[in-house]
Structure 1
Amino acid sequence: MQTTRRNFLKSSLGLALASSFDVSAKKIKPRLAFSTLGCPTWPLSKIVQTAVATQYEAIEIRGLEKEMYLPKRPEFSTDIAQTRQLFADNKLKICNLGASSNLHFMDTTKRQKNMDEAKRFIDLAHELSCPYVRVFPNDLPKDQDREQTINLISENLSELGRYAKEAKVTVLLESHGQVIWKDVLLQIMQQANHPNVGLIWDIFNMWSITKESPTEVYKTLKKYIVHTHIKDGSMVNGKPAYTFVGKGEAPLKEAIDALKSGGYKGYYSFEWEKMWHPEIPEPELAFADYPQAIQQYF
């Protein structure tokens, strides 16, 4: 078959376009953060130095030097101006503050304590120009009516959203505890129904228990997901055994494919749970591995 000039040009153009798509695909760079849960003994200066050296864009503050209530630390109280300057000088962002607040308590005193903590973290996020504060749903106790508990979580989340609006902050409910099924999370988010409320998708947290397809989870909750927690591992005797990303059983490829195809623009925040699992490898190794390991999904 004779190759005409027109056919040759069409063929060449097709190859050039394919090549350009390949190059652009290789250049996709996810927005990376890591949680300080992974380095529970490090001072803030070392955390920042490590993030810069390993090319993260942001840090998620979940405790500092084993103190989980951040306002107790001078870095987030009396010395907050220096903290802001430290991040600005290093061109890093604080993308999320992890509060320990649980929204399921019907006991008035416990409920108020947890709501007060969440509001204090919202105030702190405002001072730090941090966009998000994480809270937990967190339980569906057997001694409480299930529907009433779900309604209460929704009401508390909505109240926090109204408070956060004044601070220009968004409150994020994390898929956590017993509240990890997509349909329950959807019910809570629909009932809370506030523009300053969103969802953190902890992929492994959910899948390790529910085994729900990440494609279906994302399809159900896409409207609300603005932040993700990334980790990998397997379940051993009913407990998580964490591994570096790509070395475990978590369906990260399916989840990240869903996020990419859905236009997700948020952070892929590495949650290395060293605080709760001291036996796992040291943060120096984990934080250095993650940026390369997650790139395989892009």
Structure 2
Amino acid sequence: MSYEKRPVSRRAFLMHSGGAAAVAVAASHGWSRAADAQPADLRFGFTTYQWGQDWDLPTMIANCTKARALGVELRTSLRYAHGVELELDAQRRSEVRKRFQASPVTLVGLATSERFDWPEPEQVKAAIEQSKAFAKLSHDLGSSGIRVFPNNYHKNIPAEQTIAQIARAVNEVGAFAADYGQQIRLEAHGPAGDLPSIRAIMDQVTQPNVRVKLNSEKRNAEGQGFEHQFNLVKDSLGDTLHLHELDRPDFPHQLQVNLLRKIGWNGWALMEASAKVPDRLQALIQQRELWDELLANAS
């Protein structure tokens, strides 16, 4: 699969390889106007899985503006109402980009369903090529990165083999995406996405634009505790993470905020909510208010 590359210096992109790498590149191209208007700190945003599945782009932008969730990650491959998928032609990609640029809401990235744990080599290759296509789409839309999964371990395949396979895959995708100013966000998702496994994967990652996306899960607070697990990956964090309902008691939300503040993390905390609620906009506003309380109480 081939793509027409834009004139972004890969070397310049790789020089900005920390958690703010993709944000820095995006800002240099005028992509993060709404983000720049906010304090350089922990910013609250929204990912469209699941509360946003039937919101088209005008509705989503309006609702996120009302909720002050000023960064949006679009879930792809599920035929959501926003309609942003790989088959968008150049004109439609430009229209989506301009729609966000004309609003207070930043398009932060795309949440793909691509995963790199497949036992079958052809499946891994297909996921790599799809991820490259999504990185190109993200660039065309003016966003700064894509989410991918590590996902599973498989029977009769050593964990070390799966870890090495995932690392090779994200390195290949990351090398491609760097030419488009894109961050590859490896989410802590699935059995192969616990934070010790993520650390093992990242130990084999050489592309600086491949970063870790926290998923704010209960399991991250088990064992030796959340701070221990957080410390495993804190030096590899990307510029987005997923939150889940902040009134759930099974995750140490305040501790996570405190630790992110402590390391000077500057990124988007994206609400991914699935609770059945009568009014999703009002529920999103309430989650934003809870987030503001966490920031106010941060130590």
Deviation at 1:28, TM superposition (A): 9.5
Deviation at 1:181, TM superposition (A): 2.7
Q: Report SS of the residue matched to 2:191.
A: coil
1:181-200 aligned within 5 A: 181-200=194-213
In structure 1, the partner of 2:283 is 286
* Cα displacement (A) at 1:205: 5.7
**What are the residue-to-residue correspondences of 1:77-226 with 2, within 5 Å?**
78-204=91-217, 206-207=219-220, 210=222, 212-226=224-238
Aligned to 2:293: 296
Contact (CA 8 Å) 2:195, 2:220: kept in 1 or not? no
Normalised by the size of structure 2, how large is the TM-score?
A: 0.78
CA distance in 2, matches of 1:108, 1:280: 42
User: 2:48–2:73: 8 Å Cα contact kept in structure 1?
Assistant: yes
Instruction: Using the TM superposition, give the Cα deviation of residue 44 of structure 1 relative to its aligned residue in structure 2, in angstroms.
Output: 1.1
CA distance in 1, matches of 2:52, 2:151: 24
Counterpart of 1:3 in structure 2 is: none
**Structure 1, 60-69 or 222-231: larger mean CA deviation:** 60-69
Residue type at the aligned position of 2:247: G
Q: What RMSD over aligned residues (CA atoms) do the two structures have, in Å? A: 2.4
For the residues of structure 2 that align with 1:247 and 1:106, how far apart are their CA atoms? 35
SS of equivalent to 1:90: coil
Q: Distance in 2 between matches of 1:109 and 1:281?
A: 43
- Contact kept? 2:220, 2:229, Cα under 8 Å: no
Task: Give the TM-score normalised by the residue count of structure 1.
Answer: 0.78
Secondary structure of the structure 1 residue equivalent to 2:53: coil
- Please list the CA deviations of residues 48-73 of structure 1 after superposition, one character each: whole Å capped at 9, or x if unmatched: 11111122221111137537994256
In structure 1, stretches of 5+ residues that fail to align are 1-26, 233-244
Check if 1:265 corresponds to 2:277: no
List 4+ stretches of structure 1 deviating above 3 A. Answer: 27-30, 67-70, 279-282
Kept after mapping to 2: 8 A contact 1:140/1:149: yes
User: Per-residue deviation at 1:104?
Assistant: 0.7
Q: Is the 8 A contact 2:114 2:131 kept in 1?
A: yes
User: Greater Rg, structure 1 or structure 2?
Assistant: 1
Q: Distance in 1 between matches of 2:206 and 2:82?
A: 29
**Bigger mean CA deviation after superposition, 177-186 or 61-70:** 61-70
Amino acid at match of 1:71: E
Give the Cα separation in 2 of the matches to 1:260 and 1:67: 35
Question: 1:19 is matched with which residue?
Answer: none
> In 1, Cα distance between the equivalents of 2:113 and 2:154?
18
Deviations 1:95-119 (A, max 9, x none): 1211110111131221122112111
Q: Counterpart of 1:33?
A: 45
Cα distance in 2 for residues equivalent to 1:136 and 1:254: 25
Q: Deviations over 1:141-177 (max 9, x none)?
A: 1132221111101110111111111111010100001
Structure 1 pair 42–178 and aligned structure 2 pair: CA distance change class (3 A): same
The sequence identity of aligned pairs, in percent, is 20
Q: Which residue of the partner structure matches residue 252 of structure 1? A: 253
Counterpart CA distance in 2 for 1:228 and 1:164 is 19
Task: Quickly say closer, same or farther: Cα 1:29–1:268, change in 2 above 3 A.
Answer: same
**Alpha-carbon distance in 2 for matches of 1:272, 1:151:** 32
1:232-273 Cα offsets, whole Å, 9 max, x none, are 3xxxxxxxxxxxx22432111111111111111111111113
- Call closer, same or farther: CA 1:77–1:250 in 2, change over 3 Å: farther
Find the counterpart in structure 2 of residue 9 from structure 1: none
Cα deviation per residue 1:257-293 (whole Å; 9 max; x = unaligned)?
Answer: 111111111111111136xxxx455422321111101
Structure with bigger RCO (C-alpha 8 Å, 6+ apart): 2
Whether the aligned pair in 1 keeps the contact of 2:112 and 2:148 (CA below 8 Å) is yes
Tell me the secondary structure at the aligned position of residue 259 of structure 2. helix
Q: Is the contact between residue 117 and residue 165 of structure 2 (CA under 8 Å) also seen in structure 1?
A: yes
Offset from partner CA, 1:17-64 (integer Å, 9 cap, x none): xxxxxxxxxx99731110111211111110011111122221111137
User: Displacement, 1:203?
Assistant: 1.2
| C-alpha separation in 1, matches of 2:82 and 2:195 | 28
Cα distance, 1:68–1:45 mapped onto 2, change above 3 Å: closer
